[in-house]
Structure 1
Amino acid sequence: MGTTLGEIAELINAELVGDSACVVEEIAALEGATSNQISFLSSDKFLSQLQSTEAAAVILHQDRRDQFDGNRLLMDDPYLGYAKVASILNPYIFKEQGRSPSATIHETASIAEGGWIGPQCVVMEQVEVGESVFVGAGSVIEEGCTIGRGSRLMANVSLMAGTVVGEDCIIHPGAVLGSDGFGFANEDGRWVKIPQLGRVIVGDGVEIGANSTIDRGALEDTVIESGVKIDNLVHIAHNVRVGENSAMAAMVGIAGSTVIGAGCTFGGQAGVVGHLEIVDGTHCTARTLITKSINTPGLYSSATPADPNRKWRRNVVQFRKLDESIRELRGLAPRLSDMEEKIELMEKGKEK
């Protein structure tokens, strides 16, 4: 079953030029699209494929309305249109509802209708699971956890005791929420564990990638606010707060008690040391290391891009000599100043 272009245009708030009754069933790239598929153009590097595509319709920027003769959906952000159409044509549908016979569910757990508890799942005491929640095979939900309506936990997700997950969240395989934070005190060279007494609180519409970990708070809660998107292999330490609609790419690490504002983004392998505050609207490129609080929004970078090995080796040598070179330059400055004065006096003498 497909969807008409008229319906899609209304759902994604696009201007339709063409046949509103045309039905599309799938979304595809321009080059390989067929007559029952819709495509999109969001980058100039694919512009050459626009005239040869066999797609039933193409999502385009308003400025390109005259560059394609077929059915077209016009909007300011075609990539956003692609995302929305892909969701429309590929809705998540429960294949099964109820409980697998191999799931272990405590008698005090409250599980609403319309969802699925998969094979080998363990649901412990005083757990509350909302309507239409999917819990994938092998997942463990410890005592006192709450999962909001419409959320999906894929295979082998672990929610440790007291974790709260909001509505319409997606947690990918292997993610662990609520494990102990890295808290220890040193006594004469030996480490004494500090009990981690807080929880993890996740807002609505959050997505957490595969094998990511979010530690419970030491005393207060670790909080992931609504709309946050977290990629695979991200680590968020205890007592961190991540503001609404922030996003983190793979292998980002956030140390304990850091407060991150709303609408921030972190490229892959970016890191933040503990006890910092990062203002709303801060954006960090890949491998950026933040060691001080950021009070001014904007784009921040610290990683060194790759160079040919020979050039990189020369740069490393120069970097090691940087302090020495600066000292030499500082020593030369007074001598250069004296030379300039002498030259100026000589020129004045010639004029006379």
Structure 2
Amino acid sequence: MLLSNIFKEYNCFEDAVINNEKNFDYLGLTASDVNGLLCVFLDDEKYIDDIKTNVRMIITNKNIAKLLEGTNYGICIVDNPREVFFHIHNYLSDRRDKSEEKKKTIIGNDCDISNLASISKNNVKIGNNVVIEEFVVVRENTTIGDNSIIRAGSIIGGQGYEFKKTEKGILSVAHAGGVIIGNNVEIQYNTCIDRGVYDWDNTIIGDNCKIDNLVHIAHGVKISKNSMIVANVGIGGRTTIGQNTWIGFATTITNGVSVGDNARANIGSVVTKSIPDGGSYTGNFAIEHSIFMKNLKKSLSNNKE
């Protein structure tokens, strides 16, 4: 793809200045991990070091464009890079949705699907021996593996919460990705799992994961196998969670962090920084559990005095 062609089709952004234009395959963020050539936006110089080697085009402003002089990137200069980027994203998502051929939904053998469930007629794959209870909604671009259970009231593959403030109001960002749920997964009552934002991205729930009631899993989250997510947990977009991990009751995990293998985010934690493999973190903001307990005991001792 070329930005100049997209601008002509979209009939917008006439004031954009394109230098050293390069072809790209996908839109993404500076740190996106995807096979293919990327066009990204950059409106803060602190993210320059995050630019991946597969980035070819950068939508940015005049000040940052000067910092990128002498590089081999294609540069598109606009006043509001973030806004322009997501307008392009929405345009391409809509164009793709209208042009791509729909594939009829496939349902495996020996499934128990309630007549009160709503399953998209297109672009859904459901494996064998799957249970889907009443009032479950499964949107397009969803795959559910064998022997998985989706309890009543859950919504899989919905439009996520991604909005951008602009001078003209608040822009709703299209979600063009999907959801992949592995084998032997159980998702309990009234849980929401959003689809990925980008067409190359999916929200992924690994094999044997168990997810409790009223859990929100945002766009592009990756949860590895054998992990357990307890009720009332909120997991922000693009978070990665390792295998055999425990996320305790009412934990909040901010977007874009990672929780390692065999780790724990204990009850009520507010996780704003990544947790290493085997780590056990507690508190608001969450810190290593033993340090949290040491600080708590010290505080209680001081209060008694």
Q: TM-score range by the shorter chain?
A: 0.5 to 0.7
Which residue is equivalent to 1:162? 141
Distance 1:207 1:230 in 2: 6
The normalised TM-score by structure 2 is: 0.58
- Answering whether residue 183 of structure 2 is matched by residue 207 of structure 1, we say no
Counterpart residue identity of residue 207, structure 2: S
- How many angstroms apart in 2 are the aligned matches of 1:177 and 1:240? 13
Letter of the 1:139 partner, please give it: A
Q: Is the partner of 1:250 in helix, strand or coil?
A: coil
Q: In the alignment, does 2:125 pair up with 1:152?
A: no
User: Which residue of 227, 252, 255 corresponds with 1:271?
Assistant: 252
One-letter identity of the residue aligned with 2:272:
T
Amino acid at match of 2:262: G
SS of match in other structure, 1:275: coil
Asked if residue 137 in structure 1 is aligned to residue 150 in structure 2, the reply is: no
Matches within 5 A, 1:22-33: none
Amino acid at match of 2:110: S
SS in 1 for 2:175: coil
Q: How far did residue 186 of structure 1 move?
A: 1.3
Cα-to-partner distance string for 1:292-335 (whole Å, 9 max, x where unaligned): 0112423211169xxxxxxxxxx89x99xxxxxxxxxxxxxxxx
CA–CA separation in structure 2 for the residues paired with 1:268 and 1:281: 17
**Alpha-carbon distance, 1:285 to partner:** 1.6
1:280 counterpart SS class: coil
Partner of residue 224 from structure 2, selected from 224, 228, 243: 243
SS in 2 for 1:217: coil
Percent identical among aligned pairs is 30
- Deviation of the 1:162 alpha carbon: 1.6
* Cα deviation digits, residues 248-277 of structure 1 (max 9, x gap): 110001000001100110111011000011
Residues 274-296 of structure 1 deviation map (CA, whole Å, 9 limit, x = unaligned): 00111101112210111001124
- Deviations for 1:22-61, whole angstroms, at most 9, x for unmatched residues? xxxxxxxxxxxxxxxxxxxxxxxxxxxxxxxxxxxxxxxx
SS at match of 2:180: strand
Query: Residue 293 of structure 1 is aligned with which of 274, 281, 303?
Result: 274
- List per-residue Cα deviations over 1:194-222 (Å, max 9, x = no partner): 11000010000000010000000001110
**In the alignment, is residue 183 of structure 1 matched against residue 156 of structure 2?**
no
CA distance in 2, matches of 1:173, 1:125: 26
- 8 Å CA contact retained: 2:271, 2:284: no
Which one-letter code corresponds to 2:237 in the other structure?
G
The residue type paired with residue 292 of structure 1 is K
CA contact (8 A) 1:164 1:201 kept: yes
RMSD: 2.1
- Give the corresponding residue for 1:173: 152
Greater Rg over alpha carbons, structure: 1
Distance 1:271 1:189 in 2: 32
SS of match in other structure, 2:164: strand
> Is 2:196–2:202's contact at 8 Å kept on the other side of the alignment?
yes
- Matching residue's letter, 1:286: I
Give the Cα separation in 2 of the matches to 1:199 and 1:133: 22
The Cα shift of 1:187 comes to: 0.5
* C-alpha displacement of 1:185: 1.5
Opposite residue 225 of structure 2, the aligned amino acid is E
Cα distance, 1:156 vs structure 2: 1.0
| Cα separation, 2, equivalents of 1:189 and 1:283 | 43
- Matched to 2:181, the amino acid is V
Distance 1:303 1:195 in 2: 32
Instruction: Describe the SS at the equivalent of 2:157.
Output: strand
Q: Which runs of 4+ in 1 moved over 6 A?
A: none
Distance (Å, rounded) in 2 between the aligned partners of 1:294 and 1:189: 39
Partner Cα distance (1:163, 1:230) in 2: 17
How many Å separate the matches in 2 of 1:205 and 1:265? 17
Structure 2, unaligned runs of 5 or more: 1-101, 286-298
Q: Does the Cα contact within 8 Å between 1:286 and 1:303 map onto a contact in 2? A: no
Amino acid paired to 1:134: D
Counterpart for residue 105 of structure 2: 127
Q: Which amino acid aligns with 2:151?
A: H
Aligned pairs (5 A) from 1:307-326: none
CA positional deviation for 1:189: 6.5
Distance 2:161 2:279 in 1: 31
Counterpart CA distance in 2 for 1:291 and 1:205 is 30
